[in-house]
Amino acid sequence: MKNILLLAHDDSGQESRLQCALDLTRALQGHLKCVDVTRQPVFMQDYATTAGGMTALIDEEQREAANASRLRARLETEDISWELAHSVGDLSDALVRHSRLADLIVLTRRQSVGEFPDMMDVASDTVLKSRAPLLVVGNHRSEGRHSHFGVRKRCHPPLRGRGRSRRSL
């Protein structure tokens, strides 16, 4: 496993995703590919005016351009192999498009209630559409204690079975 794919999107979970991806890339001496995704705005009405839609898209593009600029400056100080790609559209679809050569995709789990986009939806869609496994990490701001990779120290086994399957964990 050498190619790590990271969702680079300006939200509260970006720092924990980035820290985990950087640690993994260093440990594996791999390559980090960051996908900066500009989401197209979703309108909750019967129709949207062209000007309103374009204004919302321009605001989102400016926010993501600033995020990409900060991320690029930070990655230049790291001692890893990396690249930054840009995509417009749905978060999970963009990750799937860029995941063909990825060995692992790093995402965060649900952030605070009501925060958009819902990262659990992104993770669910991505795991169903991509061949690469996902590493879903906790959010540093909302979680309690963290291990080196930003996940909770108290882990719950994914299998609730007994016997052999439980012992293998």
Let me know if residue 154 belongs to a domain.
Answer: no
Give mean pLDDT in consecutive 10-residue pieces for the chain, a chain of 169 residues: 89 89 95 90 59 72 89 94 92 93 90 69 91 86 44 38 41
Spatial strand order of the sheet with 3-8 comes to 81-88, 31-38, 3-8, 104-108, 134-137
Which pLDDT belongs to residue 111? 64
In a domain, 145, yes or no: no
Omega of the bond leading into 157 within 30 degrees of 0 (cis):
no
What's the confidence (pLDDT) of residue 156?
A: 38
Domain assignment of residue 52, yes or no: yes
Q: Residue 47 belongs to a domain with what CATH number?
A: 3.40.50.620
Count of domains in the chain? 1
Query: Is residue 24 in some structural domain?
Result: yes
136 DSSP 8-state letter: E
Tell me, yes or no, whether 34 lies in a domain: yes
Strands (E), the chain: 3-8, 31-38, 81-88, 104-108, 134-137
Q: Which two tokens stand for residue 55?
A: 């204004």
